[in-house]
């Protein structure tokens, strides 16, 4: 059985899914744009699989009479779209999002036009911005690592 794990950026919330996840999508609807603060929302349905929350409790905003949006109340990471037909998890919250390629787009009536041209934008490596933002050489990440941890945070930040 395939095991998927993931969580929020700060690590207060962790989840685990047992089973095969095939229903990965992006949604362009305006509510998903707002809930994710993004041009579209990448979501993976957990229908037919076993979702469990292994650390922390997701806070929820009821975005409509049918749907709730779950997020981490400590760091704000969007985590779920919960509707009567099941729970979908934000694809980027998985420890290995690349394992869950999207297969369909929803809410295309809300698609922002330039989204179809993003791949054509010029691209830069993080290190290429050193002159304008020299602090990037000294960045210490406080983000939870992409695997389960027995204790977190690993050590106290000063
Ligand atoms: Zn968090
Ligand atoms: Zn949507």
Q: What is the pLDDT of residues 111-135, one digit of tens each?
A: 999 999 999 999 999 888 888 888 9
Query: Of 2.60.40.10, 3.90.1300.10, 2.170.150.70, 2.50.20.10, which CATH number belongs to 3-111+124-138?
Result: 2.170.150.70
**pLDDT band at 154; cut points 50, 70, 90:** confident
Residue 121: per-residue pLDDT:
98
pLDDT category at 156 given cuts 50, 70, 90 is low
Confidence class for position 158, pLDDT limits 50, 70, 90: low
Torsion of CA 146, 51, 100, 34, to 10 degrees: -90
Question: How far is ligand 1, taken at its centre, from the CA of residue 12, in Å?
Answer: 5
CA of 134 to the centre of ligand 1 (A): 27
- Give 136's pLDDT tier (boundaries 50, 70, 90): confident
Output the CA 34–ligand 2 centroid distance in Å: 9
| Region 56-80 average pLDDT | 98
Q: What is the distance between the alpha carbons of residues 63 and 68, in angstroms, rounded to a whole number?
A: 6
Residue 64 confidence (pLDDT): 98
Dihedral angle sign, alpha carbons of residues 87, 110, 71, 151: positive
Compute the distance from residue 123 Cα to the ligand 2 centre, in Å.
Answer: 28
Distance 100 CA to ligand 1 centre (A): 21
Q: For residues 117 and 72, what is the distance between their CA atoms, to the nearest angstrom?
A: 31
Cα(28) to ligand 2 centroid in Å equals: 6
Output the CA 68–ligand 1 centroid distance in Å.
18
Distance in Å, CA 49 to ligand 2 centroid: 21
Cα 71 to middle of ligand 2, angstroms: 16
User: What does the pLDDT average to over 11-27?
Assistant: 97
């Amino acid at each position: 059985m395939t095991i998927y794990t993931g969580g929020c950026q700060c690590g207060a919330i962790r989840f685990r899914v047992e089973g095969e996840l095939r229903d990965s999508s992006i949604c362009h609807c305006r509510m998903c744009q707002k809930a994710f603060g993004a041009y579209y929302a990448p979501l993976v349905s957990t229908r037919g699989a076993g979702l469990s929350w292994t650390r922390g409790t997701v806070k929820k905003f009821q975005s409509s009479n049918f749907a709730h949006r779950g997020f981490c109340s400590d760091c704000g990471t969007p985590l779920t779209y919960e509707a009567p037909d099941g729970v979908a998890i934000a694809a980027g919250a998985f420890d290995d999002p690349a394992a869950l390629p999207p297969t369909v787009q929803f809410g295309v009536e809300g698609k922002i036009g330039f989204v179809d041209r993003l791949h054509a934008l010029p691209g830069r490596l993080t290190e290429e911005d050193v002159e304008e933002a020299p602090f990037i050489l000294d960045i210490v990440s406080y983000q939870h690592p992409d695997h389960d941890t027995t204790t977190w945070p690993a050590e106290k930040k000063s």
